[in-house]
Amino acid sequence: MLGQVEFLEKYNIKAEEFEKSGLNWDELIQIYMHYSTEHTRLEPVAEYIAETLRKVENVHTVKHRVKDPEHLIEKIIRKKIKRPELVFTVESYKTEITDLIGIRALHLFKEDWLGIHHFISTKWDLFENPKANIRAGDDDKLQEKFKEHNLEIVNHPFGYRSLHYLIKSKPDKQEVVAEIQVRTIFEEGWSEIDHRIRYPYDTDNPILKYYLVLFNRLAGNADEMGSFVRFLTNELDQINNLHQKELHEKNATITELELMINALKIEGDEKEELKKTIKTLRSQLTKSINSSSLSNPTTAWPYVGSIGNSETNSTFGIIGNINESAFKLGITAEVQEQMLNLSKLGSGIKIK
């Protein structure tokens, strides 16, 4: 471990602040030595938790780390400077520093958090109630959802958005506390950059702060866009499925028409004319099937209303049934005219 002067200089900690904290450097060395032996024991625990989370639905990526001994000492110093009432000894440091094991579970869409939350809450005992870090101005409905599931809302000063869980694990006789952070991939990208820029220098530079805030907003907008794209895809899937169902129904109706025409006892020329019209209908249906897709749902089978009239439909029962089936198809103006001709033709058919 570095000497006191070198350590404080490396981590940009002011010597006078360290002195005011009341920390004893020799005590910190003892904590460092003790934790260095614990570090090896914690690594397999972190791997087990991470591997368990990788199997959870909607978890995209899992990262884990065991805190480096030097970084532990840095964190102890910073916490003591901010909260002088805290006491750090070899016996107590693991109670005060709860992220010796750190796990990050990342998901694609911001609404995926709920399933991951249910898994963590039921898989492990919690050391304390989980927290939802939000940025001021975040969606009220989402905050209410967090509260419904017993998450404590925390307005993070730097705008971090993530869910924090402290879980208890007991790989041997000694219980271990691990921190799990759950956030979107976009939030992870922003927080990594923010951490890289802000923490090594503990900077309060107003220009950097302004740009990091803008970056935070962009990450939030990206999450919103991702959720909307998912919603849009689901909507288009439903539209496409509906169109496909209707097209299949129309195809069945045309097949029914074909069977009815074949059953008619009419002259050859008249029957061929009917078959020609049915062929045109099926051609139109094929074009609609080929043109209806998620990429252009508006080209799906057009709905244009009824065709024909009651007088021609009622001339003969069979012809009326043919037209009644045909009216279900919803076809183009061109085919409407052909079907109208079919109705007129049917009015003069003589059944032998």
pTM here is 0.67
User: Can you give the pLDDT at residue 312?
Assistant: 35
Helix (H) or strand (E) holding 64: strand 61-66
Question: Which residue type, as a one-letter code, is found at position 102?
Answer: G
User: Can you give the pLDDT at residue 329?
Assistant: 44
Burial class (CB in 10 A: 0-12, 13-18, 19+), 104: buried
Q: Which of 80-94, 163-177, 253-267, 313-327 has the lowest mean pLDDT?
A: 313-327
User: Can you give the pLDDT at residue 116?
Assistant: 96
**330: Cα separation from own chain's centroid:** 37
Q: Which of 2-16, 178-192, 234-248 has the lowest mean pLDDT?
A: 234-248
Q: What is the pLDDT of residues 80-100, one digit of tens each?
A: 999 999 999 999 999 899 999
Higher-pLDDT residue of 233 and 283 is 233
Q: How far apart are CA 261 and CA 351, in angstroms?
A: 12
> Which of 278, 279, 332, 281 minimizes the C-alpha distance to 307?
332
Q: What is the pLDDT of residues 203-231, one digit of tens each?
A: 667 777 777 778 778 888 888 888 888 88
